[in-house]
Amino acid sequence: MGLDTSGRPRTELGTGDAPGCGPLRGARQSGAQPLRQQIYEQVRSAGHISRAVLAKDLEVSPGSVTPLVSDLLAQDLLYEVPDESQHHGRGRPPVTLGVNPGRGLVAGLKLSDHEHSALLVDLAGHPVASATLPRRDDVRSVESLLDEVEALFARLTEAAGPGTPPILGIGLGMPGMIDHATGRLRWSPIVSDRDVDLAAAVSARMGLPVSVDNDANLLTMAELWFGRGRSLSDFAVVTIEYGVGLGLVVDHAPYRGGHGYGMELGHTKVQLDGALCRCGQRGCLEAYVADFALVREAPIALDGALPPRGKVLEALYDQAKDGNEAAKAIFERAARYLAVGLANVANIFDPRRIILSGSRMRYDYLYAEEMLAEVPSLTLNRPPPIEVNAWDDLVWARGAAALALSDLTPRLLA
């Protein structure tokens, strides 16, 4: 399993240990929201909770909680659950509150270079169904991308089967510069169109409210709602896929920057006049670490005999594990550049924790002991703990579902 930079074991679990879903905030962090919303979100994050504990956690009187809980029960947003664990005698067991999962569903959709993925979850955050769809090579316009969104959504609803609760909203993410607040897609490597109102276009096609964000922020939402970041007030998420992404959480909420696009760690420069990046510039971090960078070097290790598209990285990794020195050197070089990137995150943001997250974390050469050992020497202060969360390929869709749940909540409670 290995150690993180603090000397503690790294974790490779896909989800957090606490029940429920959503940020585990205290009363002081939730105080800006209406009490009704605080109650609903506190119940959701706890999984199940009694009225007394709910009032205590929110630091309000039980009398102020009771009428609002009754209102949420009447609207079927909450429901009562007998707590058998606290039942030790005759009579009815005590009752706890839970978010009613049957009230509705949200869909999380992730669009990517090679394969799209989708996850349907209920309002309590439980997965209901999943689906994937290979991306067509000829999809370059937003209009053709909408066709694929519609096809992916159809697969998802078919997988869920008949009789499921209504779908109340969609969260959608893809690589590129996307303004979550306005819903606009400024640029993406997977489409040719620029400056498009993506949220409005998808909403018009699907007939549902749509929230959009870039894929790094989706992964951050997955960690914040379902993963290791639920109880942390601030942390950074670094992800490696077809690019290198950075997500930042400040005060239990994602920070998206002054223009809403998030942080482009992959396009920070680590080598002047270095390798060509797919953004058109040279020396970017992801030109050395991302999938396309590893695949670019793969023919050297695989003697030019490349497997089908989508299988190159697996073949390269298998060769490295089998002792192919050229394959190992490709991963080790990428890991050294990743150490530089992580040190830059630590120096600039000083987060409580850095989480290396995403499905690419199964390539353990990228976070080998040697790489982690280099990070402290590249930082001025003691770096934060670095943890690894090796999710499956649905993690981005899970983050998109969290995005949809987050944006849907105020509308449900309005």
Which tokens in the block code for residue 34?
A: 């209406």
Which CATH number describes the domain made up of 232-389? 3.30.420.40
- H/E stretch holding 253 reads strand 253-255
Residue among 399, 313, 397, 404 nearest 112 (CA) = 397
pLDDT at 12: 34
Q: Map residue 174 onto helix, strand or coil.
A: strand
**Selecting from 1.10.3720.10, 1.10.150.80, 1.10.10.10, 3.40.190.10, what CATH number does the domain 27-102 have?**
1.10.10.10
Q: For the beta carbon of residue 185, count every other beta carbon within 10 angstroms.
A: 24
pLDDT per position in the chain (414 positions), as tens? 233 333 332 333 334 456 899 999 876 555 578 999 999 999 999 999 999 999 999 999 999 999 999 999 999 999 998 876 654 555 566 789 999 999 999 999 999 888 899 999 999 999 999 999 998 876 688 999 999 999 999 999 999 999 999 999 999 999 888 999 999 999 888 888 999 999 999 999 999 999 999 888 998 999 999 988 898 999 999 988 777 889 999 999 999 887 766 688 989 999 999 999 888 899 999 999 888 888 888 888 887 777 776 788 888 888 888 888 998 888 888 889 999 999 999 999 999 999 887 666 767 766 677 888 889 999 988 889 998 877 778 989 999 999 999 999 999 998
pLDDT at 14: 39
pLDDT at 89: 56
Positions of CATH 1.10.10.10 in the chain: 27-102
Q: What is the DSSP string of 67-97?
A: HHHHHHHHTTSEEEEE-GGG--SSSPPPEEE
Which tokens in the block code for residue 8?
A: 């503690």
Overall fold of domain 103-221+395-413:
Nucleotidyltransferase; domain 5 (3.30.420)
pLDDT at 39: 96
Positions of CATH 3.30.420.40 in the chain: 103-221+395-413, 232-389
C-beta contacts of 243-247 below 8 A and 24+ residues apart: 243/175, 243/189, 243/286, 243/290, 244/285, 244/286, 244/289, 244/290, 244/338, 244/341, 245/214, 245/215, 245/216, 245/219, 246/216, 246/345, 247/216, 247/217, 247/219, 247/220, 247/221, 247/223
Calpha distance 164→214 (Å, rounded):
29
Secondary structure percentages of the chain, helix, strand, coil, to 5? 40, 20, 40
